[in-house]
Amino acid sequence: MQTKIYLDEENLPKTWYNIQADLPSPLDPPLHPATGKPVGSADLAPIFPMELIGQEMSTKRDIQIPEDVREILKIWRPSPLIRAHRLEKYLKTPAKIYYKWEGVSPAGSHKPNTAVPQAYYNMKDGTERIATETGAGQWGSALAFATSLFGLECTVYMVRSSYVHKPYRKSMMQVWGAECIPSPSPRTASGRAMLEKDPDTTGSLGMAISEAVEDAATHANTHYSLGSVLNHVCLHQTIMGLEAREQLAMVDDYPDVVIGSVGGGSNFAGISFPFAGDILTGKAKGTEIIGVEPAACPTMTRGLYEYDYGDVAGLTPMLKMYTLGHEFVPPALHAGGLRYHGDSPIVSRLVHDGIITPKSYLQNEVFEAAEIFARTEGIIIAPEAAHAAKGAMDAALECRKTGEAKTILFCNSGHGHFDMSAYDAFHAGEIIDYECPDDLIKESLSHLPKMRG
């Protein structure tokens, strides 16, 4: 009975998969926040290195992973693909459940998969410092790790509610040499404006993005970096799906269902795009691809597919994506990494085209699933990852009803060792099942940017 499927280090993928090559028509371009015109390389040059700008817009299918990046990824990659035998047994399902285990990275999630190449391209470009935002602290700690390996400075604007409730993520950033600032902060003009409006604000990812972008745009030696949403981030994460497809082939298998949690969409993109590409190019059909989000921040399931800003202040380009409106402030969810008002433009496009099926869950059912996972498979997973685990369990229970022996693959995006207070709250019965009211969504969507023409 094989449990772990390992790829050899020499079989670590040499290229990332760019799904833009296989979309039936090009993505709607990002638009400049002031002019409403498509954004060009020159607009992005003050905040991103050229290589990443190129990847953002590229329609080349296979993009080389630099050897220096592969060498660092080898610290933990290829990551294991694990067959959840005990969970299958518990669920009494004929389905096979596999999960791609990303908790083995130094920061404990999938996020270093893009932090390392982003830090590398910035180092090559002569960047001295990178500014970024972080929600739950996962991205900040991943970038702090990556920048430390390339000798770059790192400034992280951390959503205030997480800064207060997740002190150990901040400690990790400090160990890796980064500066971590609670956002909104007096450090930036946009932060000061937000504090003036509401001095007690718990912050949001959108606010923190405004601060980090402003920091990068106003300092010549500083670039900005984003841990999700953008095309190049999704590109770097495809290493997970490419490995998983190889690993499943080693046991003569291919998934019928692929599942990931969706915050900005990067881990889901990473696990699913190689399989979505197989659908788009006619190599596979019938693969169900499911993106899971929290009911409290229901971007894909209840938002609109429209142009919107990536941040609260409206400093970022407008992206065509599923959005709840850039002014949407989600409740202080325990899956902090899933609190973003928008989603990856590519994931959004594939949802719109019917290739991806979105789904949402309430918090308590997600924690119940996380606990079942811990008590069968042993691993205490991040609340974000638990959304995907819950999706996989539901797919497996469906198989119990129909008698189908489907192959289910999900992205187990990280461990939950710094989320124990959330597990404590679950045990104390303090987790609230919050479903976002229609009025709130409607009000927030009424502030979408007005499109010209």
Ligand X SMILES: *Cc1c(COP(=O)(O)O)cnc(C)c1O
Other Cβ atoms less than 10 A from the Cβ of 68: the count is 15
Residue range at the interface with ligand X (CB under 6 A); choices 91-99, 261-269, 302-310, 402-410: 261-269
CA 17/CA 20 separation, integer angstroms: 9
- Smallest gap from Cβ 347 to ligand X, in A, equals 9
Toward ligand X, which CB reaches closer, 166 or 406? 166
Residue range at the interface with ligand X (CB under 6 A); choices 69-77, 157-165, 379-387, 439-447: 379-387
Q: Considering only the C-alpha atoms of the chain, give the largest distance between any 2 of them, rounded to a whole number of Å.
A: 61
Site for ligand X in 402-431 (CB under 6 A): 413-414
Site string for ligand X, 17-56 (x = CB under 6 A): ----------------------------------------
Site for ligand X in 101-120 (CB under 6 A): 109, 111
Residue 261 engages ligand X in binding (rule: CB under 6 A)? yes
Residue 385 engages ligand X in binding (rule: CB under 6 A)? yes
Toward ligand X, which CB reaches closer, 43 or 419? 419
- Smallest gap from Cβ 322 to ligand X, in A, equals 12
Please state at what angle helix 231-250 crosses helix 266-280, rounded to 10 degrees. Answer: 70
Distances in whole angstroms, Cα of residue 386 to Cα of each of 85, 259, 337: 17, 11, 12
Q: Where are the alpha helices (DSSP H) in 67-223?
A: 67-73, 85-91, 112-124, 138-150, 160-165, 167-175, 189-197, 205-217
Residue 267 engages ligand X in binding (rule: CB under 6 A)? yes
Site string for ligand X, 314-353 (x = CB under 6 A): -----------------------xx---------------
Please state at what angle helix 50-57 crosses helix 112-124, rounded to 10 degrees. Answer: 130
Residue 211 engages ligand X in binding (rule: CB under 6 A)? no
Residue 180 engages ligand X in binding (rule: CB under 6 A)? no
Are residues 97 and 88 in contact, defined by beta-carbon separation less than 8 angstroms? yes
3-state secondary structure of 382: coil
Are residues 216 and 223 in contact, defined by beta-carbon separation less than 8 angstroms? yes
Residue 266 engages ligand X in binding (rule: CB under 6 A)? yes
Distances in whole angstroms, Cα of residue 351 to Cα of each of 46, 242, 322, 345, 398: 32, 21, 9, 10, 22
Residue 137 engages ligand X in binding (rule: CB under 6 A)? no
- Contact positions toward ligand X, by CB under 6 A? 109, 111, 138, 228, 261-268, 337-338, 382, 384-385, 413-414
